[in-house]
A and B are shown apart, each in its own frame.
Chain A
Amino acid sequence: MKVIDRSDFTALIEELIASDPREVVGVQESGEQYVFDRLESAEQLALEHDLTALSPKKYVMPQRETLLTYEQTDDDYEMRAEADPTGHIVVGVHPYDLAAINQLDKIFIDTLQDEPYRRKREHSVLIGVTMQDVADTCFAASMGTATIDSGYDLMVTDLGDRFAVDIGTFEGDQLLESVPTRNASAEEVERVAEIKADLEDAFDRELAFPPAALPTLLEASYDDMDFWEDYAEQCLSCGTCNVVCPTCFCFSVDMIRDLEGDSGRQERRWDGCLLEDFATVAQGENFREEVAQRHRHRFMRKGWYIYERYGDIACVGCGRCTRHCVAGVADPCEVYNELREGQHA
């Protein structure tokens, strides 16, 4: 573990903004919330944030992204797959968001080799930050994602006038070359460990049982329609919980035609299983017509289906869905705890 003075860390970010060809983005205040956005200056960084509106997923899987362009040439069409390599330097990523990106890496790169995702991800740098403030909707400690030991290039912990820096990758190590650092003292290493350990008690919300029990619990609860309908009664099917989730990756594919000429592009855009037409087929049959079915699908997918396929619980406990759900029915912690309670009643 290294230590870097706060002023040198600021200088490092300024240098990256000035000279790295990639866009440097970081957590900053925007109105009453925190967001990941382009940094003009290191001063904008708000590393003490509790939760950003959207996760940094948007930099590896943008809300809209071109998959294919086409252009008419003489009597023929030229169709070209696009795999935009634009990477970002992302500063201030909380451990649960790093865990979410690790899950996406496993699916998009290791398993299904999605080229547009891979190119963005491999050209990106993730600078994580140990949580200093905990959102009241967050239950990351229960999901094992309040702290993380890998999945970042650098991980910084605020020690007041200096940052402890854990180096995760060779590229992270190289980033530090231009600024003075020193090895952390035993005391500083211990202080970081204390900060991380203290985090465990900082959460208002917790899952009442180990997440490893979720797949079995959900499987057993699938047919409990009274439970799902009860929750779904208030659900507006707006899809906000899908959109703000760092582990949701469903998308739709749209054709965008240029106004002039026979050219255009095919884009994918974020989509959500809560939206009414998500599972509709060509002639109108909808395989998840009822709100309760869609509502149930979301929770099953998070706690069972993705686990079944990839071995991960697709919820990192960030609490964004809870914070942004206007109907107050999207909280996975509450839903899973109630299911568990019902099962043991």
Chain B
Amino acid sequence: MRFLLDAEQREFAASLDAMLTAADTPSVVRDWSRGDHARGRALWRRIAEAGVFALAVPEAYEGLGQHPVELALAFVELGRHAVPGPLVETVTAATLLTEPGPAKRLLPALAAGETMATVARDHGYALDGEAAGIHLSLTAEGLRLAPGHGPVRPSLDPARRLTPLDPGGELLATGPPLAPALLLARLTTAAQALGVGLALLDRTVTHVKRRTQFGVPIGSFQTVRHQLADARIALEFARPLLLGAALTMTAEDVAAAKVTACEAAYRTARTALQLHGAIGYTAEYDLSLWLTKARALRTAWGSPDECRDTVLSGGRRW
């Protein structure tokens, strides 16, 4: 038992962080929110070059094989930098495409970052359908390659654009591996949420050190300090759940990580908004990029209730 990242894993996360820090993601997000995907696609290619999407694609299809721990680490960084796009959906698609024919045809482009995939459950929304090149719909008959998408509907998070998928299209598989795909979707959403929460905390700590009231930094007020301490506690206890879930990939562990990371991020978002005051309530200030995402991720790929139900239905206890 050595529940600790090794040097290579830490280095992978750190190099991704450095690359994303240099990429000026806030302006990429703002472009994306207006439907301008050019810079987002360029960033997507660099994320692929770092190996992120390949971590979900089997070696036979030009990937690296599935590596949930490294994927989780990568998604924490993607969340920390508010990277836009159907990130979770792309790795989820890689898990759904197991039939050799479609896999051979579609997966290499996903691993290389040449295109993005999005996925809609039943008649739900697919994220960023107008940016994605591969539209997968999960229907009663199985997995279909949808011919296109319907009108774009805005999300509470301006960087997330919700699109219904057109009915019909090629049937890719009659019994796609739904359970493993849902696990990976939840795991990467949890990781992204944790990253969002960490960014919110970080930015808020910086803010309360600078912002003064009554002649002192507001970060010296105990009520402010204690709210941030609580946010830190919530995030720090979500992290081991996330990494543990990436190791075991059991439904209960992944659901526990999802609900905990998303709740911690959401709670941190509320604290961040409160401690920033009115400026945090504006769209023009960058904090909003993370605030709205924390809300959206909370229900993406499994609401808190659904995840808690999964935990309760687990037969094996830890």
A, B co-complexed: no
> A: which residues have CB within 8 A of B?
none
